[in-house]
Amino acid sequence: MVWPSSEQLVCVTGAGGFIGSSLVKELLQRGYAVSGTARNPEDRKNAHLHSLDGANERLSLYRADVLDYKSLCAAFSSCDGVFHVASPVSDNDPELMAVAIEGTKNVINAAADMGVQRVVFTSSYGAVHMNPNRSPDQVVDESCWSDLEFCLQTKNLYCYAKTVAEKTAMQEASKRGIQLLVVVPSLTLGEMLQPTLNLGIELLIASYMKGTKKAYPNTVSAYVDVQDVARAHILVYETLTAHGRYLCIGEVVHRSEFIQMMRELFPQYPITTKYMHCFFEVQTYPFAITRV
């Protein structure tokens, strides 16, 4: 059973971000009315949202912060569903852990208090694959979790925070009777709607194109297009039989293949060519993709 989009008002937290912008665009194209949250809706970096098709009629931006419970309540008022996308993306962000724990609690509880029954939470591939005890032959699926101690030992606070945030969302949703759906995207690339580079695009594409990264590592990564991530959010929301976690992965390639594709697409740029020799070989894992 699928809910009719024309009768739905939904909220997207972090509406002006990379994934958030594509999600707002896709929702508007499908006829949803959308409330989006931003720390400063008047900031020029959010202006692109107002130019989206359907924005004049069906998009409202609210000044809200996930650490401010009351602001979330105002944004979620009268909404049928919430897409919680907002999240810091850097290990150096001082609010990383606060947003992961308190911010997630605020979103789930504000949604429940405003009568919202269905919440889609944007997690991360980083909450799944960071586990040195997993066999390289084991299929990585929605039952897999990153090892929190390993994340701390390797100083990967982003993966630690996303793992904690997702588990916090599950715990709070269970307490409040919220139907929680979790989308777990891998490294997300694709068309940028916002006017400034997000950290992921800067690190994965721009730094190589500019040649500021002098070598690429011996690593295999999973990638997905941002438009597919947006559609995955809506698919799990609209499918009433959906439940739990859903990996969202397009392709798994070695960094050398990724670099070669960039060289072919952008021969005019001084793209990194040097291989970074490591003292270890990076393990790769097969993935099981669950379909709604």
Q: Catalytic residue positions? A: 162
Residue whose tokens read 């992961």 = 100
On the 0-12 / 13-18 / 19+ scale of CB atoms within 10 A, 60 is: middle
Strands 59-63, 220-225: pairing kind: unpaired
DSSP 100: I
Single-letter code of the amino acid located at 129: H
On the 0-12 / 13-18 / 19+ scale of CB atoms within 10 A, 263 is: middle
> Which among 179, 236, 243, 229 is positioned nearest to 2, based on CA atoms?
236
| Torsion on CA atoms 188, 59, 82, 13, rounded to nearest 10 | 50
| Torsion on CA atoms 38, 43, 47, 48, rounded to nearest 10 | -60
Distance CA 230, CA 27 (A): 9
Question: Residue 245: in which H helix or E strand, if any?
Answer: strand 244-248
Give me the long-range contacts of 277-285 (CB less than 8 A, separation at least 24): 277/218, 278/217, 278/218, 281/218, 282/217, 282/218, 282/219, 282/220, 283/136, 284/136, 284/220, 284/252, 285/129, 285/134, 285/136, 285/138, 285/139, 285/140
Is 17 in contact with 86 (CB distance < 8 Å)? yes
From the CB of residue 83, how many other CB atoms can be counted at a distance below 10 Å?
30
